[in-house]
Amino acid sequence: MASEKDLIAVIDFGSQYSQLIARRVRECSVYSELFPPTISAKELAKLSPKGIILSGGPNSVYDEDAPKMDPEILNMGIPILGICYGMQLISQQLGGHVEQGQKHEYGRTKIKFESENLLFKNVTNEINVWMSHGDEVKVLPEGFCCLAITENKKLASVCSPEKNIYAVQFHPEVAHTEQGQLIIRNFVFDICKAKPTWSMVTFIQDSISKIKEMVGDQKAICALSGGVDSSAAAVLVHKAIGDNLTCFYVDTGLMRKNENRDIKRIFDEEFHLNVKFIDARERFLSKLEGVSDPERKRKIIGEEFIRTFEDAIKGLGDFDWLVQGTLYPDVIESAVSVGGKAVRIKSHHNVAGLPEDMKFKLLEPFRNLFKDEVRNLALELGLPEEIVYRHPFPGPGLAIRIVGEITREKLRILRDADAIVREEIFNAGLYRDVWQAFAVLLPIKSVGVMGDRRTYSYPIVLRIVSSDDAMTADWARIPYDLLDRIARRIVNEVDEVNRVVYDISSKPPATIEWE
């Protein structure tokens, strides 16, 4: 929760963009946090927010089970901005009328402003915005006026000057909306009068205080992988509870080439953290033998992580907490929603893949942060760039980059191919320019010819993407000569590979990882 600083509260009605709204506000150096629709006006008042934003959502406001909110929130006198579903809910709860539109508006739409307003201060008269709705406000509540209309003459933005309530039918928080961040800044600073008092420094200070209060004299273990998320979580929690934190690095047999060597060097020589290394290769690989379904893989790996920790701490005293570097995109894809309904895309081993009978309490200081925010935090904590800018590596490791059944031979092939991909991207000076660069092994073989002889071997898929936060991603436009060099090296240096292909799918519709 925010303390000694201004807060913009986001009420989450289940939109896929809800956390993105909070992130955009935090980019203004103003603290923002998500709250469920069940929060009451009385509870909100205790937080003294400078403003309230109502998110979008997948429901229609007239649906029987559609999420509502305490109507008194609209009478608090605090500036409110409704987005998409938020605009429709405001209209309905204040006496307006919402119904299904004859024409749906999805994607890029041009809007034109009808009158000047603080919300659109310094915004050009016509802009392209991102729409995603099938319902529309047909009748405005009393005291509301139109601020903008779409090309189809539909309401795009409305406001009530008397109530200090503003609403937009589009999504200013997404990158597709032109000058969307300016609209949010106008709401935060010109309408809410918030002050830019939040930063990663204050987040670190608040987090340390919270962790001290939550954990007290109890002990915690940290699942340390060497990535920026778990590394930053370990350093942050160590600042809060000191030697009551013990870090474990688990070699699952699913790690990248030379991963164990690099982790030991970094944390033994540079951090001097209390890290215990566990060789659990046989344990994990035996459990995964014959398993092809990706959800089963994730569940097995999630459970084995916990069981491994439980076995590792026997005789070391009582540990009550498990520290994890879980990020918000992990939570979203695992369908753990703050406010609305969500559909599970895949179970991240550290979110929905954890066993139900787990005895540890979870300590996840970055659960509401995106990757780029954690990187900024890690720099504030003094972590070296080698860790800060490491490409994300999934908790299940190479298990979800081998499509289908996992074998030791496939792991050897993928490790060697993946090492070449990362080495060439780094040598080309592109490592910091792309979000992730890795190899995927498919469970099929194809005919090739090498040295005038027929081969029947595996294909390797190159997956190289650009992204800001992993919520969306696009395939990276890598120079052809670099792709050629990677492909030739893999075919020449990795046994049992005779073909290399490049994945040019974006997210959505694909995910970054293949499983």
Does the structure show a pLDDT above 80 at 120?
yes
- The pLDDT tens digits for 158-212 are 999 999 999 999 999 988 899 999 999 999 999 999 999 998 998 999 999 999 9
Average pLDDT, the chain: 88
pLDDT computed for residue 347 by the predictor: 44
CATH class of 401-502: alpha beta
Residue 448 assigned to a binding site: no
Residue 57 assigned to a binding site: no
CATH hierarchy code of domain 200-388: 3.40.50.620
pLDDT computed for residue 135 by the predictor: 81
Cα 284 from Cα 196, distance rounded (Å): 47
Average pLDDT in the 272-297 region?
Answer: 90
Q: How many C-beta atoms surround the C-beta of residue 360 within 10 A?
A: 18
Which residues of 402-496 form beta strands (DSSP E)? 436-441, 446-450, 453-466, 474-475
Residue 226 assigned to a binding site: yes
pLDDT computed for residue 332 by the predictor: 59
- The pLDDT tens digits for 47-90 are 999 999 999 988 888 888 889 999 999 999 999 999 999 999 99
pLDDT computed for residue 402 by the predictor: 96
Q: Which two three-digit tokens encode residue 154? A: 């539909």
Residue 228 assigned to a binding site: yes
Q: Which residues pair with 436 in a beta bridge?
A: 465
- Positions annotated as catalytic residues are 84, 171, 173
Burial class (CB within 10 angstroms; exposed 0-12, middle 13-18, buried 19+) of 399: buried
- Homologous superfamily assigned to 7-191: Class I glutamine amidotransferase (GATase) domain (3.40.50.880)
Q: Are 463 and 506 in contact (CB under 8 A)?
A: no
User: Which amino acid, residue 191?
Assistant: I
pLDDT computed for residue 266 by the predictor: 75
Q: Do domains 7-191 and 200-388 have the same CATH topology?
A: yes
- Domain residue limits, the chain: 7-191, 200-388, 401-502
- The pLDDT tens digits for 126-166 are 999 988 767 888 889 999 999 999 887 889 999 999 999 99
- The pLDDT tens digits for 318-361 are 889 989 888 876 665 554 444 444 443 344 444 444 556 677 88
Average pLDDT in the 425-450 region?
Answer: 94
93-107, 281-295, 351-365, 421-435: range with lowest mean pLDDT = 351-365
Residue 323's closest CA among 351, 377, 358, 363?
363
Does the structure show a pLDDT above 90 at 305?
no
Average pLDDT in the 361-366 region?
Answer: 91
